[in-house]
Amino acid sequence: MSVLTDNFSLYGKGLWGTVQLTLLAGALALAVGVLIAGFRVSPVKALRVFGTVWVTVLRNTPLTLLFFAVLLGLPRFGVVLPFMVFAVLALGAYTSAFICEAVRAGINTVPLGQGEAARSLGMTFGQTLSLVVLPQAARSVIPPIGSTLIALAKNSAIAGSFSVTELLGTYKPLNELGYGIVWTFVWIAVGYLIVTLSIAGIFGLLERRFGVAR
Amino acid sequence: MTASSALYDIPGPRALARHRVYAWITSALLAALVAYIVYKLVDTGQFSAVKWRPFTYAGIQRLLLTGLANTLKAFGWAALFSLLFGVVFAAGRLSDHRVLRWASTLVVEFFRAMPLLVMIFFIFIALKLDPMLALIIGLTLYNGSVLAEVFRAGVNAVPRGQREAAYALGMRKTQVMTYVLVPQAARAMLPAIISQLVVALKDTSLGYLITYQEFLYSGKLIATNLDYDLPFIPVVMVIAPVYIGMCMLLSWTANRVARHERRSPRTKGTKVTTELPEEI
């Protein structure tokens, strides 16, 4: 117990790091994921191909490898950014592939008649997608996006091993201070549970408020 | 792709011309990006002989191959144990005995909620196990728990009439399970199981973080060598295609199996999907 009370600020800093990573990478992943999903259903073949390649490659890349490439590889390119930014980029890009697939599945759940009606009103592809189809798709993709963001929060633990301040990384200084390793990890686990359960709670609320009745 | 075609009209001559312009712009932008990356690669000397020479050494090649073998070894064991773990705990969750059900639910939910890396670190640091063992156990606990949910969802997805008919024939619950439900569930769930194995394969790379001598770790050993002028980018260019290729091969198998099973009359009535069951 004293591990937590003695090192509250350390744990707090770690937890805040994890929350920050999750929020920033989540926002990036949502933005990119929806954009790529739009690409994948667009009438322009070049965009469709780009979307497919993006999703296929990122979905089949181990996240550790992506971190390795971005955090250790990019600086060799002369791209020097704080590790935190690199971590957000890696996590966001990786998660965007999964968000894209969730959104695409959501687009497919919208009845065909909606798209057809929008077109018969003379709407362009962009209007059909953004004004008619996506708002309806959004309601059915709340649960899968929730679980993707939970996976993102859990994946953010990898960033700790690449010198980004986050929750899992706090075990190191605590271990050096000589605290019991088991309790150190118990409180780290509790921290992650707080983050993931909050996301689950928020998306549960969203689902109840906006979700499609099934 | 039926729904997506409802999003736009079949393009006429003018729309086609417009699309061609968009296609050109996209291609031009992508080409510019690729050109910039190649320029950067050349500019920072990533193609210099000194950075690529290590890959011609037999010792380095052996190091990479050993790493790859270790990755596959960890993956193989983890896959095997995850399947066993999944079967045992799915049976537990479907059990008629409340205590068994609750215990299995607790275990499965706990290991699904924990970040895999936290478990691996805990096993490695607190229990002081060998890195390979820590990696395999961590992968087994996490993927086994997910697979348990897949198996359970699969059994529950078999139409109810099957179970009822089997009971009506006088089968015992073990017989119903082994002769009627599991064979149908297994076929429908095979694609999802393979998809989860892709996740397990990708996650073997976490072994790198606990100094398990797997593929990425071998790469790091080469990349951090000053004699070869820190060939980080060349190492990534060699390692990434192998990883991505292996995972894509497995994903592709999952999709093929899914397509095959969807056509098969034996899975009629049970939904075949490569996706894992979504639940929050």
Contacts with A147 from chain B: Cβ below 8 Å: 278-280
Residue with tokens 């990425």: B216
Contacts with A73 from chain B: Cβ below 8 Å: 232-233, 236
Which residue in B has a C-alpha nearest to residue A190's C-alpha? Answer: B114
What pLDDT sits at residue B200?
94
- Complex ipTM > 0.85: yes
Q: Do the domain assignments include residue B6? A: no
My answer on whether B75 and B184 are in the same domain is: yes
d(CA A169, CA A165): 7
My answer on whether B18 and B84 are in the same domain is: no
Q: Do the domain assignments include residue B272? A: no
Interface touch A204/B280, C-beta < 8 Å: yes
What pLDDT sits at residue B267?
64
**Domain range holding B21?**
11-43
Which residue in A has a C-alpha nearest to residue B7's C-alpha? Answer: A115
My answer on whether B20 and B158 are in the same domain is: no
Contacts with A54 from chain B: Cβ below 8 Å: none
Q: Does B118 touch chain A (CB under 8 A)?
A: yes
Q: Which of A56, A192, A196 sits opposite B248 (nearest CB)?
A: A56
Contacts with A146 from chain B: Cβ below 8 Å: 280
Residue with tokens 């920072």: B44
Interface touch B232/A73, C-beta < 8 Å: yes
**Could you tell me where the DSSP H helices lie in chain A?**
2-6, 8-40, 45-59, 63-67, 83-109, 112-120, 125-127, 134-140, 142-155, 157-160, 171-176, 181-210
The number of distinct structural domains making up chain B is 2
Q: Do the domain assignments include residue B196? A: yes
Contacts with B251 from chain A: Cβ below 8 Å: 59-60
Per residue in B93-141, pLDDT tens? 999 999 999 999 999 999 998 999 999 999 999 888 999 999 999 999 9
My answer on whether B25 and B123 are in the same domain is: no
The number of distinct structural domains making up chain A is 1
CB atoms within 10 A of CB A172: 14
Q: Which of A99, A52, A90, A57 is nearest to A72 (CA)?
A: A90
Interface touch A41/B4, C-beta < 8 Å: yes
Which residue in B has a C-alpha nearest to residue A168's C-alpha? Answer: B118
Interface touch B7/A41, C-beta < 8 Å: yes
My answer on whether B144 and B115 are in the same domain is: yes
Q: Is the CB of residue B105 less than 8 Å from the CB of residue B90?
A: no
Per-residue pLDDT tens digits of chain A, which is 214 residues long: 677 888 888 899 999 999 999 999 999 999 999 999 999 998 888 999 999 999 999 999 999 999 999 998 888 888 888 999 999 999 999 999 999 999 999 998 899 899 999 989 989 889 999 999 999 999 889 999 999 999 999 999 999 888 888 898 888 888 888 888 888 899 999 999 999 999 999 999 999 998 876 5
My answer on whether B147 and B130 are in the same domain is: yes
What pLDDT sits at residue B12?
86
d(CA B279, CA B146): 12
The CATH number for A142's domain is 1.10.3720.10
Residue A198, exposed/middle/buried by CB under 10 A (0-12, 13-18, 19+)? middle
CA distance B15 to chain A (A): 10
Which residues of chain B are under the pLDDT cut of 50? 1-4, 278-280
**Domain range holding A115?**
2-210
**Which DSSP string corresponds to B57-111?**
SHHHHHHHHHHHHHHHHHHHHHHHHHHHHHHHHHHHHT-S-HHHHHHHHHHHHHH
My answer on whether B32 and B88 are in the same domain is: no
My answer on whether B125 and B225 are in the same domain is: yes
Q: Do the domain assignments include residue B276? A: no
d(CA A99, CA A55): 10
Q: Does B120 touch chain A (CB under 8 A)?
A: no
Q: Which of A60, A110, A116 sits opposite B244 (nearest CB)?
A: A60
Which residue in B has a C-alpha nearest to residue A148's C-alpha? Answer: B278
A-proximal residues of B, 128-187, CB under 8 Å? none
Q: Do the domain assignments include residue B86? A: yes
Q: How many CA atoms lie within 13 A of A41 on its CB side?
A: 30
My answer on whether B199 and B85 are in the same domain is: yes
CA angle at B107 for the pair B101 and B110, rounded to the nearest 5°: 130
Instruction: Please state whether B45 falls in left (phi above 0), alpha (psi between -120 and 50) or beta.
Output: left
Interface touch B278/A143, C-beta < 8 Å: yes
CB atoms within 10 A of CB B96: 7
What pLDDT sits at residue B143?
96
Q: Do the domain assignments include residue B174? A: yes
My answer on whether B119 and B258 are in the same domain is: yes
The CATH number for B149's domain is 1.10.3720.10
What pLDDT sits at residue B41?
87
My answer on whether B102 and B120 are in the same domain is: yes
Contacts with A200 from chain B: Cβ below 8 Å: 280
Q: Do the domain assignments include residue B106? A: yes
Q: What is the DSSP letter of A68?
A: I
My answer on whether B39 and B145 are in the same domain is: no
CA distance B177 to chain A (A): 29
User: Please, what is the angle between helix A83-109 and helix A142-155, to 10°?
Assistant: 160
